[in-house]
Amino acid sequence: MVSKSFDTAFMPTSASPSVTTADRVLQVLAVLAQQGQALSAAELMERTGLARSTLYRQLVRLKRWGFVLESDGHYAPGPLSLQMALGFDLASHLVCQARPDLQALAQQSHESVGLIVAVNDQAICLDMVESQQSLRCSFEKGRSVPLRAGASAKCLLAHLPPAAQAAVLDQQYGPDSADRQAAQSELEHIRQAGYAASTGEVDAGVWGVSVPLFGTARQAVGAITLMAPISRAQGQDQALIRMTIVTAARISRGLGIH
């Protein structure tokens, strides 16, 4: 679930000689979890790289245990996945610790605030407190985006351990490209600034600021992201950044920073 160091273990591919049956089962389940919609066998084959016979063996296991449901030849997370999600909501120390402050920040700023973590090469929303305004921005709970664009993804990527960060950048840009060097410089600037801000990088019309959360030994455990319509953030961006920085510091203290 929540890694206290963002130590990222990338999803293995079927071509890897070290991939086990358990890896393949989890690979199928991870792909289904990330898509947010039912997928056909052909779509699952394309996204996992598994052969049809191998894929069906994993689906049989997952259906038998209730992790996957099949309807009209399409597959989606099953009821046991929902039970795990409910258990995570009740048990996650990070969510429980952060939620009161997320609610306070949303009330103070009148904007939406999310709790985001890095898993594999994705930024995943663990919790979301919605703005009460009719025009609002949101990052749906459970939604994931690649660790590439937007305030949340860049903030998380900037605070990954060096080896994990390098692996993500190599995957995205190659080891020696000019784009990789530019991305590396941007991430270093984010670390020094203590936050990442973006305008319209993931969703058009959305401004966001993301600030890291730290646990014991100054290890990054996630980030909080405040998001607002660009029209409302203009002229208020510095105040919103300060609010988010203060809230992140308060959450970090509760996680073990004194």
Examine residue 6 and state whether it is found in any structural domain, yes or no.
Answer: no
Same domain? For 243 and 139 the reply is yes
Same domain? For 118 and 59 the reply is no
Residue 252 CB contacts under 8 Å (≥ 6 apart), including other chains: 213, 214, 215
% pLDDT > 70, the chain = 84
pLDDT band at 138 (very low <50, low <70, confident <90, very high): low
Q: Looking at residue 17, what is its pLDDT?
A: 44
Q: Looking at residue 245, what is its pLDDT?
A: 97
Q: Looking at residue 84, what is its pLDDT?
A: 64
At 107 the three-state DSSP class reads: helix
Same domain? For 135 and 246 the reply is yes
pLDDT band at 102 (very low <50, low <70, confident <90, very high): very high
Q: Looking at residue 241, what is its pLDDT?
A: 96
Give the range of the structural domain holding residue 153, as residue numbers without chain letter.
92-255
pLDDT average, residue stretch 62-80 = 77
Examine residue 16 and state whether it is found in any structural domain, yes or no.
Answer: no
Q: Choose the final residue of a domain: 37, 62, 84.
A: 84
The reply to whether the predicted model has a pTM over 0.85 is no
Sign of the dihedral defined by the CA atoms of residues 176, 179, 185, 187, in that order: negative
pLDDT average, residue stretch 79-96 = 65
Using an 8 Å Cβ cutoff, are 191 and 206 in contact? no
| Domain of residue 59, CATH code | 1.10.10.10
Same domain? For 100 and 62 the reply is no
Q: Choose the final residue of a domain: 84, 113, 129.
A: 84
212-258 pLDDT, tens digit each: 999 877 788 899 999 999 989 889 999 999 999 999 999 999 887 44
Same domain? For 247 and 136 the reply is yes
Same domain? For 235 and 182 the reply is yes
pLDDT band at 154 (very low <50, low <70, confident <90, very high): very high
Q: Looking at residue 88, what is its pLDDT?
A: 59
Most confident stretch, 11-15, 78-82, 141-145, 211-215: 211-215
Q: Looking at residue 87, what is its pLDDT?
A: 56
Same domain? For 38 and 150 the reply is no
Distances (CA, A) of 91 to 82, 95, 103: 14, 8, 19
Planar angle of CA 153, 157, 159, nearest 5 degrees? 125
Q: Which residue has the higher pLDDT, 109 or 30?
A: 109
Same domain? For 53 and 116 the reply is no
List the beta strands (DSSP E) in 72-219.
Answer: 74-77, 112-119, 122-129, 144-146, 196-199, 206-214
Examine residue 15 and state whether it is found in any structural domain, yes or no.
Answer: no
Q: Looking at residue 120, what is its pLDDT?
A: 72
How far apart, in whole angstroms, are the C-alpha atoms of residue 127 and residue 142?
A: 8
How far apart, in whole angstroms, are the C-alpha atoms of residue 124 and residue 122?
A: 6
Q: Looking at residue 85, what is its pLDDT?
A: 66
pLDDT band at 19 (very low <50, low <70, confident <90, very high): low
* Pairing of the two strands 68-71 and 220-229: unpaired
Same domain? For 144 and 232 the reply is yes
Is 90 exceeded by the pLDDT of residue 66?
A: no
Same domain? For 151 and 195 the reply is yes
Examine residue 25 and state whether it is found in any structural domain, yes or no.
Answer: yes
Examine residue 152 and state whether it is found in any structural domain, yes or no.
Answer: yes
% pLDDT > 90, the chain = 30
Residues pairing with 32 in the sheet = none
How many structural domains compose the chain?
A: 2
Q: Looking at residue 83, what is its pLDDT?
A: 58
Mean pLDDT estimate for the chain? 81
Is 80 exceeded by the pLDDT of residue 36?
A: no
